[in-house]
Structure 1
């Protein structure tokens, strides 16, 4: 921590010492008479003021401290400003008449009545000759005379003029410039961010600390400021930024992590049970959020015990029967049961809790009893893993459900992300906008990286590297990257594993590099997961991007720009759904990733997790279905020749053949061909006509033939012949040797070796020709 020695050399002393003056509470009758007699002459207007007039001597002891305060205040040397000072003194003296007491004993309420809770109220309660600037001067008198600091009760009161009057314009401006230089370097825009938000809070901090010097804003001073009513919301965020700036100069320590609210005291349980829960919460090494969730569950268990089993007040009293009773109660529990506060439940109250909630409650219960037994706090009377196991009926309803975004919607979101503009996004937290490079980098990271939102928020500076033909490309190279250059993204330690590197689209790499070039210098920040001190990529104004920024701001903005709804049939479009969508598209690509390649790209520890993301799309499934040949395996389509001359001439009615089923080597004229058991192993009965015969040749030479298609379902033996080949064909021929043909004789009786024919598969949906 480097201290600004130039700033530290500046000194300042308090301008007014009340102990030097007579501080009497009441007024004598002579003093009251003198004040009433002087009246508006108390304004001491130039050319009209007579210091030798009667009454001035009686109130000299009151005028002396007021005039000394006026002398200590910074005021432009003008008749108008000097008269404003005199008017403020006159108001104070006239109010002494109404109060019957001197200003030395006034309370904050007394000063507030004089200054007013707003400019309108001040003008309404003051004489007509009082100018509006007198209000700021009165606040300065209240501050120096009695230590008045209830600035939060003054309405739209300007702190900057007051601090300049008390401390002087030069010292106040010097403090502002020191803070501005630091914040501007972190990415704050001076005109809007600092002057509108930071400046009033800085002035208030200087006033509350009773010093215009930044070196007096110590760590202890900031701790006191946070407790002051005037520093409550919405000023606490600006005070946080000011302390970070003062800490970077070297005058104090960095501020603590933002206060998220203290957990309420456990109510509605036996006191011993609450003590055991708090003891476990203070000892457990689980993540803070997980610990807090478990504490809430254990509090509900305590309230359930108080209602159903009041005799059980400690975990050591639990048995397997108690565990079974808790599981049964949990299985029938509704939202709002055994809670401490019902605010925010709304219409959900009374609805059954989900299977995920039930499983989570049991997980927290098992962890509690397992730890208590392992730490030898309680005797081991049952096995938490078995006694508090999640029921199978609940497990059956659990399981990851990655919700893939439809391809057409995802394509529109990609277009919106590639064309994002600042006006497409609303103002961020505290009405501050992020630079365009920041917005593009975050948007493309969500659209292309396939990472969780928390991991995107934790990316570090320099996380992008370029590689070509296995060799790294220097980061400072000015050469144009090769078209086949690979962009590598370094992902930090994440939910399921350690840090790893993955290839991403070069568009993302270029967007991140553009943001790194425009990114203002930021202080080292703490990684929320690992606790390391790192330079976070998505940091601005000394703050890391919140992990909810993508869900709350980026995704709704991209949906508006793309003209797509923020939710579909599968629910709201969230950051994690992009991870599922990208994984599914990579798995279903023309040249897809294998399951293990996708596992490495997603950073999963187990391929079982990857399987939940590797969803097969309907198109891929349809393609695989067609390739599997379900229709061809069970049904064959055979060509049929219809002799129209035989039909029209009446020969068909007389028993002449008119249908000819093409077997490849010949034709079958049996009308019920699909019922013939020898259709695939033709025995060449009387219905068979070889193609090489004169009759077959005459048939093919006819002009009046109609060619049609007939679907023939296959039997199990025929399907086996299709699937297994020659061996199955031979078995089929052997089985049919003694089966009668349509003409009555068996193949063995005919004596001609049967010929097996795999019925051809031709255009199934083709119309008759």
Structure 2
């Protein structure tokens, strides 16, 4: 007992930590001596009945120095205040008597029984019942320091930080944890994340070292694989590994762990397809220089052809067995293909299952086959038996159905989305539970309790999506400092906000003008944005500072469709889908482009091409939809009907009408150079060349003067439709007049008797 009083905990060395107890200094034999057996089996039960305190019980026992000495040394380190030491000694001696061996011989099962996997199990394993939970912590520390038991995770709910402080020293553990919190706090994490601190303490205890430098990526991954990994625990591992990479302890930054079972998905995807066909497709995917997403889509389409082969031509297993005739047969199968045909799963198609495939889908299937066979022929993997571009050419019947069809969001729904994005508040953010309270990060950003992204980030993200007309990939890859102001052209006192768009799928980086509200929102987020580590831009292979980065991770592009847009739809009170399908991030781009094109002072197609970042105006046409209002205005301004009509003066002889004489004309058309009394003048082919007609009266003649001077003559106007040649003749085109006269040379003129006969009929 005196040795325990003399033992003192070593002072913490900030530079080096060594194991404080050397087990080789003790007698570690597993068998109890005769004296130890007698004391533990006879005297210990007797003193427990007669003595009232644990200290009095231990004083009465003698001959147990071999067992108590290492326990005393360990307790001197973990229990400097000597609060739980006597009870820990008694517990260990009791179980030595029960097991009839020394504690050096206990296996992990016995130690878990002694320590307990829960606090209740610990209380039930000891008599008398422990006074408090501190004995369990001290018992763990003693077993750990004596190297008898170190599987801390198997003990269930344990205060790991407190245990690590008992073993390694409070100051040393505090310094280690501070290394992590100093960095993670600047990234946007909370200052005192207890789950993260517990995870770090657990790793230190398993590694048996109190410093972060001893942790390796392989060690962390091995511990991670041993335990059930929830999404939250996975995020803690990612956070810690990111900090260790920043400190230079890990050589490379970790990748976000994907919980999807890729092996199972791969097996289901290739099930039922010939192995040779799968091998060629996977080899092509590994060799192609297309983007990752494009390669993945084309791989799935070529595997669809493999399933078709198994169903229709099971004898064809390799790509070099394809012929021109087989390719033509596959093109015909694609033309008649339905949604759900030759796929490995149908869960994603939903209500479309069994419907005819769209023309764009059919074209994509054939494009994938053209690309696949063209590449493997070019790489000389198979002989050239046919031209893929001709054999798998898209039929004209399919091409005719493909054209610009922008899925514009209706004006009333779009107006509600604009209102929701401009009025986003803390209560609208996703969080755990029903609380709508928030807290302010040291950088100044505001979080909802239980939420992940701060309010300023989501406000800026919403406004960029609603006003900037960017792709989702361009939005999440915007860089810090991407917005700036420049003097407006012609108005030096007015500033125009400009946005630097990064490299995108169709072109290089460019700068575009944006609304003031977009520039102000991005500036507000950048002002409170926590400092983030640089991340890799997969488009340019550069390490850059992404604007929408938080907690050491750039915003995933799926966040817009899966989280932000549903959030705005809920606030706006509109459904997630309309008549044209789901409201997605890319539909906003078409909506903005169409509104700019149909504005009161619209942007031209080429201006829209530059603003959207397209290489060709043909691509821009797929984003622009004419509104009925603009079409009506353009049609009205074209004056098509008025352009093909001319007002002609008509003289009506009232006296001839009153006399009722049928042999005398009563209506004369004023041709300028003469008068025409032909009743069907508006249908006469000679109305611009009337010189040879019997109904024509030149104005220079006395008869024309007599007609015009008659009393009771009424002058009226009549609309006469004109042909293109007649319209040109009216407008003074001499060549058009000559062409008209030449065309009318062989056309007979109407005669007066035939006209009178028709009139009588």
TM-score, normalization: structure 1? 0.75
Per-residue CA distance 1:495-530 (angstroms, 9 max, x = gap): 111111111122222222222222222222111222
Structure 2 partner of 1:369: 373
Is 1:467–1:486's contact at 8 Å kept on the other side of the alignment? yes
Query: Which segment is superposed worse, 221-230 or 616-625?
Result: 221-230
Tell me whether 1:407 sits opposite 2:411 in the alignment: yes
Structure 1 partner of 2:16: 11
Per-residue CA distance 1:603-657 (angstroms, 9 max, x = gap): 11111101111211111011112223355467899999xxxxx9xxxxx99989x
Per-residue CA distance 1:245-269 (angstroms, 9 max, x = gap): 2332333324232233545355444
Secondary structure of the residue aligned to 1:49 is helix
Secondary structure of the residue aligned to 1:513 is helix
Q: 1:516 to 1:717 in 2, by over 3 A?
A: closer
Structure 1 partner of 2:284: 280
Measure, in 2, the Cα distance between the counterparts of 1:502 and 1:8. Answer: 58
Measure, in 2, the Cα distance between the counterparts of 1:348 and 1:18. Answer: 70
Is 1:587–1:595's contact at 8 Å kept on the other side of the alignment? yes
Measure, in 1, the Cα distance between the counterparts of 2:229 and 2:67. Answer: 33
Structure 2 partner of 1:53: 60
* 1:210-229 correspondence runs (5 A): 210-229=208-227
Secondary structure of the residue aligned to 2:470 is coil
Tell me whether 1:162 sits opposite 2:163 in the alignment: yes
Structure 1 partner of 2:437: none
Alignment partner for residue 474 of structure 2, among 436, 446, 455? 455
Secondary structure of the residue aligned to 1:485 is strand
Secondary structure of the residue aligned to 1:489 is strand
Structure 1 partner of 2:542: 532
Q: 1:586 to 1:389 in 2, by over 3 A?
A: same
Query: Which segment is superposed worse, 141-150 or 253-262?
Result: 141-150
Aligned pairs, number: 695
Measure, in 2, the Cα distance between the counterparts of 1:677 and 1:623. Answer: 34
Structure 2 partner of 1:590: 600
- Cα offset for 1:230? 6.3
Secondary structure of the residue aligned to 2:494 is coil
Q: Which runs of 5+ in 1 are unaligned?
A: 1-6, 472-480, 641-645, 647-651, 701-709, 747-769
Q: 1:47 to 1:154 in 2, by over 3 A?
A: closer
- Cα offset for 1:446? 1.1
Is 1:268–1:306's contact at 8 Å kept on the other side of the alignment? yes
Structure 2 partner of 1:626: 636
Measure, in 2, the Cα distance between the counterparts of 1:255 and 1:484. Answer: 45
Q: 1:112 to 1:366 in 2, by over 3 A?
A: farther
Measure, in 2, the Cα distance between the counterparts of 1:661 and 1:97. Answer: 137
Query: Which segment is superposed worse, 625-634 or 578-587?
Result: 625-634
Q: 1:585 to 1:351 in 2, by over 3 A?
A: closer
- Cα offset for 1:486? 2.1
Structure 2 partner of 1:612: 622
Structure 1 partner of 2:516: 506
Measure, in 2, the Cα distance between the counterparts of 1:307 and 1:111. Answer: 61
Secondary structure of the residue aligned to 2:531 is coil
Measure, in 2, the Cα distance between the counterparts of 1:723 and 1:76. Answer: 116
Secondary structure of the residue aligned to 1:459 is coil
Secondary structure of the residue aligned to 1:501 is strand
Secondary structure of the residue aligned to 2:610 is helix
Over aligned residues, Cα RMSD in angstroms? 4.9
Per-residue CA distance 1:564-617 (angstroms, 9 max, x = gap): 333222222211111111111111122222211111111111111011112111
Tell me whether 1:291 sits opposite 2:295 in the alignment: yes
* 1:126-137 correspondence runs (5 A): 129-130=129-130, 131-137=132-138
Is 2:21–2:74's contact at 8 Å kept on the other side of the alignment? yes
Is 1:683–1:741's contact at 8 Å kept on the other side of the alignment? no
Measure, in 2, the Cα distance between the counterparts of 1:314 and 1:424. Answer: 55
Is 2:486–2:498's contact at 8 Å kept on the other side of the alignment? yes
Tell me whether 1:378 sits opposite 2:382 in the alignment: yes
- Cα offset for 1:278? 3.6
Secondary structure of the residue aligned to 1:281 is helix
Measure, in 1, the Cα distance between the counterparts of 2:601 and 2:141. Answer: 76
Q: Which runs of 5+ in 2 are unaligned?
A: 1-11, 432-446, 689-694
Structure 2 partner of 1:572: 582
Secondary structure of the residue aligned to 1:591 is coil
Secondary structure of the residue aligned to 2:56 is coil
Measure, in 2, the Cα distance between the counterparts of 1:591 and 1:618. Answer: 16
- Cα offset for 1:397? 4.4
Measure, in 2, the Cα distance between the counterparts of 1:743 and 1:308. Answer: 75
Measure, in 1, the Cα distance between the counterparts of 2:125 and 2:681. Answer: 109
Structure 1 partner of 2:428: 424
Measure, in 1, the Cα distance between the counterparts of 2:404 and 2:34. Answer: 86
Q: 1:453 to 1:100 in 2, by over 3 A?
A: farther
Measure, in 2, the Cα distance between the counterparts of 1:125 and 1:719. Answer: 112
Is 1:362–1:390's contact at 8 Å kept on the other side of the alignment? yes
Structure 1 partner of 2:465: 446
Query: Which segment is superposed worse, 579-588 or 363-372?
Result: 363-372
Measure, in 2, the Cα distance between the counterparts of 1:532 and 1:483. Answer: 37
Is 2:47–2:60's contact at 8 Å kept on the other side of the alignment? no
Query: Which segment is superposed worse, 447-456 or 588-597?
Result: 588-597
Q: 1:745 to 1:341 in 2, by over 3 A?
A: closer
Is 1:336–1:345's contact at 8 Å kept on the other side of the alignment? yes
Tell me whether 1:435 sits opposite 2:464 in the alignment: no
Structure 1 partner of 2:257: 259
TM-score, normalization: structure 2? 0.76
Q: 1:208 to 1:307 in 2, by over 3 A?
A: farther
Measure, in 1, the Cα distance between the counterparts of 2:572 and 2:384. Answer: 59
Per-residue CA distance 1:60-106 (angstroms, 9 max, x = gap): 54444433333332x4626xxx23x5445544554556666655455
Per-residue CA distance 1:683-703 (angstroms, 9 max, x = gap): 8999x9999986479x99xxx
Is 1:461–1:536's contact at 8 Å kept on the other side of the alignment? yes
Structure 2 partner of 1:320: 324
